[in-house]
Chains A and B, each alone.
Chain A
Amino acid sequence: MENLGLFFALLGAALSAGLAGSGSAIGVGIAGRAASGVVTQEPNMFSKVLVLQLLPGTQGIYGLLIAFITLTQIGIMGGDPNISLAKGLLYFAACLPMAIGGLISAIAQGQCSVAAIGLVAKRPDQFGKAMIFPAMVETYAILALLVSILSIFGIVNVPF
């Protein structure tokens, strides 16, 4: 039981990478389906719709980022992996914004990308605007990432 702290920290890292990654997979997946549809008709739109398809992919990377920072901080990636239960729970909590925010925002962003791909298919000159709509959704993933990062870096200074 003395490793329970480590377990919770690891659970946080796992959820952050896993949930945010799943969200991105769903988002990129649905956007990819729409993109394939466009490319069947207009093969030269490939690069434009690819960019739009990739937009919901960032949450997965942010999730990986949080997971990696957590793993480094708790000493799994070399070092002494021994932390108190309280600290473990703190890491777990710190990972949650990225896990939940990443999962849901990536799905929403994917749906938004689908619509943006539809827009570009009809009006290729409006690519700049089409890119902005999914980027709006990403804001909340970035805010979640920020809270997670600041929390994890803050935990080091917690005394117990």
Chain B
Amino acid sequence: MSKVPMKRVFICGLRKDRKRMLETLQRTGVVEISVEKPEDDYLETMDVIPQKAAFDKNANLAEAAINVLDEYAPDTEGGFLKSLEGPKDMDLDTYYAESVNSGAYMEAVSRILALQKQIAEDKAAIPKCETRIESLKPWMNFDLPLDFQGTKDAAAFVGSLPKQVSLEEIYQGFAEFAPSVDNIDASVISTSDEMTCIFAVCLKQDAEAVENALKQMNFAKAQLCSMVPREQVAELEQEIRDANADIEKCAEEIRGFANMREKIKFAADFFTMRADKYEVLSHLEQTRKTFFINGFVPSRYAGELEKKITENFDAVVEITEPAETDDVPVALSNGVLSDPMETVVESYSLPGKGEIDPSRIVACFYYIFFGMMLSDAGYGLLLCLGCGYVLLKVKNLKPGMKKMMKLFFYSGISTIFWGLMFGSFFGDAVNVIATTFLHRPDIKMTPLWFEPVSEPMRLLVFAFGFGIVHIFTGLFIKLYQLLKAGQVKDAIYDVVFWIMFVGGAIVYALTMPMITGMLNLSFTLGSTVATASAVIAIVGAIGVVLTGGRESKNWIKRLMKGAYSAYGVTSYLSDILSYSRLLALGLATGVIAQVFNKMGSMLGATWYGLLIFLAVFIVGHILNLGINVLGSYVHTNRLQFVEFFGKFYDGGGRPFEPFTENTKYYKVKEDK
């Protein structure tokens, strides 16, 4: 259809009804509430940011808890299809009943998060213990505490020397650095390439000298440990076991919360909704007893909304046409086939002021172009089956996902059509299978139209033809928009002259034998047409040169600018050439499919040949399908965005964002 007509809505209600009315509006979800600063001092807004922040925090905590649950107790039901689902419906009574419990659900949330924190701490503790154990390993044979200082008369040194050192070398060291000391007893506890752990004992009075000698040998004291290493290691190992047991216990408790998942999801949604409500609340203009809501509502819901508000509340509802200066938000509404095109239009930009919704016209070309680029009946069939299955199986698909699925479903139908036209079913699979396994090379799919591989020029001409139609459709839409806005002069200067210029040039080209010969056309237009089209093109060109720079006052400047804008005709040439991708991508799909068929059939009609064929066939065609669906999608979009929209469409509309339940899991219905 088109852009949804919008009405301005103004509600004046009693302050006591404020929250209830907002909830009603939120569940109805048809009003976009304007955010405006109060114009005079009499009106005020309320500061509810702290409450909103609290609700946001709760919503985030609940989300975090759901993630934790998903990690420890994955929701296995439904699998992939379920991930495509949108929010479930919930009726108002259940909602009220459940919202009372939201506090209790939040307790579960905080418990889950506490458990997860505990697990994280335990997990962090384990490597610490393991490092300790690793550092105590060299001391395992030592049966004193590592911080052993000595006895009343003896001093002891426990520590390590760098590198591998033998006992003799240690005694040599003592002899060298502490020659005055006689009674030293040293022993090697353990040794490795990196270090040697030693234990040295001497008399207390020699302690200082021995310590100095050890320092000279780069002695490092063992890290403090008041226990015998073996016992310490045992204790650490016990700690690791405890941590692991604790992790398992916490995980088990988290798994126990799995049946709370839906409740927690509700809590997440509940707090999101409340946060949104408070967000709106903080912008509402109010007096001591009343409050005001300003906004936009689609016309078709306006009456219903007015009735609902006035019936349930003591309030005044005023519905008016939006003023010329209003920044009216844009929503699109379309029929079956053009509905999926909204995603394409939205991803470019929504129609701005005075622009039509191009979805319907885009739909006319989109499916044709997509089908020509993919152009294989087998691939089209797979696309249709895949998307059709999802559409049938998952009832409440996310809205965007639903449009995408429909887009590919219809594109798939078009692909089947073009595949049959060009005689391609998984490339030349029919012929290859018949030749290799049935020895009947005569069986093949005959194209309904012609085979692009054998007549590429013919398809190229048709691609250009489609391109010219597409581009001129764009120009005519611009003409329509300008005329509708009453800008007749602009319409003539910017569109009519161009249509004459480019159109005349194209027709004139068809009168030249060189061009028609190159394009393999069976006709060349006569000389009368040549003269007429040349005149039209020249008139158009002169018109463009004279008016292209009309915003300049200076005539010289104006003509220069006009000449420059006439140079823009080259962009029409490149635009039309750009449609050659219809042929190129179509050929790419077909020929690569043939490559896989050929590779698969190389081993001939044996049993292992058949197995190889099946494997290559499945893997190859899935690969080809994937990459070409991507290519077709991207390039069909490109043709719409660049070549088509470039002619008439600027976009820039502001999307309609109604105050609604922006929830992930549940959608509360106003009416039962």
| Chain A residues in the interface with B (C-beta under 8 A) | 51, 54-55, 57-58, 61-62, 64-65, 68-69, 77, 127-129, 131-132, 135-136, 138-139, 142-143, 145-146, 149-150, 153
Apart from A132-B634, A149-B587, A150-B456, 10 more pairs, CB < 8 Å: A55-B630, A58-B631, A61-B627, A68-B594, A129-B347, A132-B638, A132-B641, A135-B634, A135-B637, A143-B577
Instruction: Say which residue of B347, B578, B587, B627 sits within 8 Å of A127 (CB atoms).
Output: B347
Is the Cβ of A128 less than 8 Å from the Cβ of B630?
no
Is the Cβ of A128 less than 8 Å from the Cβ of B347?
yes
Q: How far is the CA of A54 from the CA of B626 in the complex (A)?
A: 11
Q: Which applies to chain A's interface (DSSP): helix, strand, loop or mixed?
A: helix
Residue of B nearest to A67 (CB): B595
Q: Nearest Cβ in chain A — how far from B55, in angstroms? A: 24
Instruction: Say which residue of B346, B456, B581, B641 sits within 8 Å of A142 (CB atoms).
Output: B581
Is the Cβ of B584 less than 8 Å from the Cβ of A142?
yes
Instruction: Say which residue of B585, B594, B637 sits within 8 Å of A132 (CB atoms).
Output: B637
B175 at the A interface (CB under 8 A): no
Is the Cβ of B587 less than 8 Å from the Cβ of A128?
no
Is the Cβ of A128 less than 8 Å from the Cβ of B348?
yes
**Could you tell me which residues of chain B, from 449 to 464, have a CB within 8 Å of some CB in chain A?**
456-457, 460
Q: Nearest Cβ in chain B — how far from A130, in angstroms? A: 9
Q: Nearest Cβ in chain A — how far from B601, in angstroms? A: 11
- Listed from nearest, the 9 A-B pairs whose CB atoms lie closest are A128-B347, A135-B638, A142-B584, A142-B581, A135-B634, A68-B595, A146-B584, A145-B584, A146-B580
Residue of A nearest to B574 (CB): A139
Instruction: Say which residue of B348, B588, B630 sits within 8 Å of A62 (CB atoms).
Output: B588
A131 contacts which chain B residues (CB < 8 A)?
634, 637
Residue of B nearest to A127 (CB): B347
A-B contact count (CB 8 A): 71
B12 at the A interface (CB under 8 A): no
Q: Nearest Cβ in chain B — how far from A45, in angstroms? A: 15
How many B residues have CB within 8 A of the partner chain? 30
Q: Nearest Cβ in chain B — how far from A74, in angstroms? A: 15
Q: Nearest Cβ in chain A — how far from B348, in angstroms? A: 6
Q: Nearest Cβ in chain B — how far from A106, in angstroms? A: 14
B580 contacts which chain A residues (CB < 8 A)?
142-143, 146
What are 19 A-B interface contacts by the 8 Å CB criterion? A51-B630, A55-B634, A58-B588, A58-B627, A61-B627, A62-B588, A64-B592, A68-B591, A68-B592, A127-B347, A128-B344, A128-B346, A128-B348, A131-B637, A139-B581, A145-B588, A149-B456, A149-B584, A149-B587
A135 contacts which chain B residues (CB < 8 A)?
634-635, 637-638
Q: How far is the CA of A101 from the CA of B591 in the complex (A)?
A: 20
Is the Cβ of B456 less than 8 Å from the Cβ of A61?
no
Is the Cβ of A65 less than 8 Å from the Cβ of B591?
yes
Is the Cβ of A142 less than 8 Å from the Cβ of B585?
yes
Q: How far is the CA of A77 from the CA of B601 in the complex (A)?
A: 12
Is the Cβ of B598 less than 8 Å from the Cβ of A77?
yes
B638 contacts which chain A residues (CB < 8 A)?
132, 135-136
Q: How far is the CA of A69 from the CA of B452 in the complex (A)?
A: 13
Is the Cβ of B637 less than 8 Å from the Cβ of A128?
yes
Per-residue 0/1 for B592-604: is the Cβ within 8 Å of any A Cβ (1 yes, 0 no)?
A: 1011001000000
Q: How far is the CA of A143 from the CA of B581 in the complex (A)?
A: 8
Q: How far is the CA of A55 from the CA of B581 in the complex (A)?
A: 15
Residue of B nearest to A77 (CB): B598
Q: Nearest Cβ in chain A — how far from B520, in angstroms? A: 11
Per-residue 0/1 for B330-352: is the Cβ within 8 Å of any A Cβ (1 yes, 0 no)?
A: 00000000000000101110000
B581 contacts which chain A residues (CB < 8 A)?
139, 142
Residue of A nearest to B655 (CB): A125
Q: How far is the CA of A69 from the CA of B580 in the complex (A)?
A: 19
Instruction: Say which residue of A68, A69, A132 sits within 8 Å of B642 (CB atoms).
Output: A132
Residue of A nearest to B587 (CB): A149
B594 contacts which chain A residues (CB < 8 A)?
68
A69 contacts which chain B residues (CB < 8 A)?
591
Q: Nearest Cβ in chain B — how far from A70, in angstroms? A: 11
Q: How far is the CA of A142 from the CA of B108 in the complex (A)?
A: 58
Q: How far is the CA of A146 from the CA of B344 in the complex (A)?
A: 27
Q: Nearest Cβ in chain B — how far from A131, in angstroms? A: 6
A150 contacts which chain B residues (CB < 8 A)?
456-457, 460
B583 at the A interface (CB under 8 A): yes
Instruction: Say which residue of B577, B588, B642 sits within 8 Å of A136 (CB atoms).
Output: B642
Is the Cβ of A65 less than 8 Å from the Cβ of B627?
no
